[in-house]
């Protein structure tokens, strides 16, 4: 039997904190390690292989720290790397460990919200190009039509703390307009990037009042809770002490400052050096 260890939560940067916040609120009894690959964010514009290798490298670090269960709190990594990691890497490197993503839990329930069966998805270019949302929603709700819009500037706005700025207004208005121009019947909008909830105030400002906004934090937290109820063998290897350790591949001081604003409490992270970041 494995020694119980924290649940790993991974994102390219700060976005995963929107999911982590809800996971911890729902499941406060567990220990967690959050890893943000801030040095290499954004992942969205990168190609498939790069996102896969970066994600796998971070997952391996979380495994090295003992994690038996890792949540990719990142749509781009879930879209581009999760399946390969689950199907090809885990059987070889860690057959008893598990890696979960954020796209499936979201697509499983989206049909409960839409009445028009026209659903909009805002995401990074990587996620949009992967068609993951279109493919997964089709499996669960074949009648739903999915309209996607890439918002390439939104993650940089959040990572650079510009999400409350006038520049953010410009890009939010522009990309929402592009999405809504694809269908005037969209009544449900999925924020398919874990960074985007930080832009919620701006999004609401430019979104017609009848359109519901789905962000993933609560959805993923509920899904993880159900997963742990169904998989008692995994639940048994998740340590319970209510502790959180944060790691970032960028400056720890910068991470602490931003993460604290965001989580509403003091954060003390450690810098994690990834071999491939050195010299980049």
Smaller CB distance to ligand DGL: residue 203 or 237?
203
- Nearest distance from residue 148's CB to ligand DGL, in Å? 13
- Nearest distance from residue 2's CB to ligand DGL, in Å? 29
Smaller CB distance to ligand DGL: residue 128 or 238?
128
58, 74, 151, 238: the catalytic one is: 74
Reply yes or no on whether 74 is catalytic. Answer: yes
- Nearest distance from residue 259's CB to ligand DGL, in Å? 14
Question: Considering just the CA atoms, what is the radius of gyration of the chain in Å?
Answer: 18
- Nearest distance from residue 74's CB to ligand DGL, in Å? 4
Smaller CB distance to ligand DGL: residue 5 or 34?
34
Q: Which residues bind ligand DGL (CB under 6 A)?
A: 11-13, 15, 41-44, 74-76, 124, 127, 155, 193-195
Whole-angstrom Cα distance, residue 174 to residue 178?
A: 6
Helices within the chain (DSSP H only): 16-26, 48-64, 75-80, 82-84, 90-93, 103-109, 125-130, 132-140, 154-159, 166-180, 200-206, 216-230, 232-235, 252-263
Smaller CB distance to ligand DGL: residue 6 or 126?
126
- Neighbour-count burial of 184, counting CB atoms closer than 10 A to its CB (0-12 exposed, 13-18 middle, 19+ buried): exposed
Reply yes or no on whether 67 is catalytic. Answer: no
Smaller CB distance to ligand DGL: residue 67 or 82?
82
Smaller CB distance to ligand DGL: residue 167 or 241?
167
Beta-carbon-side half-sphere exposure of residue 126 (alpha carbons within 13 Å)? 24
- Nearest distance from residue 61's CB to ligand DGL, in Å? 17
Structure tokens belonging to residue 193: 């990037």
* 73 three-state secondary structure: coil
Q: What are the CA-CA distances from residue 139 to residues 15, 106, 109, 118 (Å)?
A: 27, 13, 12, 15
- Nearest distance from residue 79's CB to ligand DGL, in Å? 8
Whole-angstrom Cα distance, residue 6 to residue 243?
A: 8
- Residue identified by tokens 């998989």 is 231
* 38 three-state secondary structure: helix
* 118 three-state secondary structure: strand
Whole-angstrom Cα distance, residue 163 to residue 205?
A: 14
**Phi/psi at 119 (nearest 5 deg)?**
-115, 135
58, 67, 151, 193: the catalytic one is: 193
- Provide the annotated active-site residues: 74, 193
């Amino acid at each position: 039997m494995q020694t119980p260890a924290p649940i790993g939560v991974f994102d390219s940067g700060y976005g995963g904190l929107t999911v982590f916040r809800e996971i911890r609120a729902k499941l406060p009894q567990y220990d967690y390690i959050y890893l943000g690959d801030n040095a290499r964010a954004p992942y969205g514009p990168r190609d498939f292989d790069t996102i896969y290798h970066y994600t796998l490298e971070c997952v391996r670090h979380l495994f090295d720290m003992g994690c038996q269960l890792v949540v990719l709190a990142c749509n781009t990594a879930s879209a581009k790397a999760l399946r390969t990691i689950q199907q090809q890497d885990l059987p070889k490197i860690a057959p008893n460990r598990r890696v979960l993503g954020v796209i499936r839990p979201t697509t499983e329930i989206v049909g409960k919200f839409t009445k028009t069966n026209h659903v909009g998805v805002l995401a990074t270019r990587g996620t949009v190009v992967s068609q993951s949302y279109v493919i997964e929603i089709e499996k669960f709700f074949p009648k739903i039509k999915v309209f996607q819009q890439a918002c390439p500037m939104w993650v940089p706005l959040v990572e650079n703390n510009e999400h409350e700025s006038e520049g953010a207004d410009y890009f939010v208005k522009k990309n929402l307009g592009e999405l809504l121009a694809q269908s005037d019947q969209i009544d449900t909008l999925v924020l398919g990037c874990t960074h985007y909830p930080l832009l919620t105030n701006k999004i609401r400002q430019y979104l017609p009042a009848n359109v519901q906004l789905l962000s993933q934090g609560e959805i993923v937290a509920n899904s993880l809770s159900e997963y742990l109820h169904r998989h008692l063998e995994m639940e048994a290897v998740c340590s319970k002490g209510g502790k959180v350790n944060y790691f970032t591949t960028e400056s720890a001081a910068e991470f602490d400052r931003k993460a604290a604003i965001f989580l509403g409490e003091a954060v003390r992270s450690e810098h994690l050096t990834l071999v491939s970041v050195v010299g980049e």
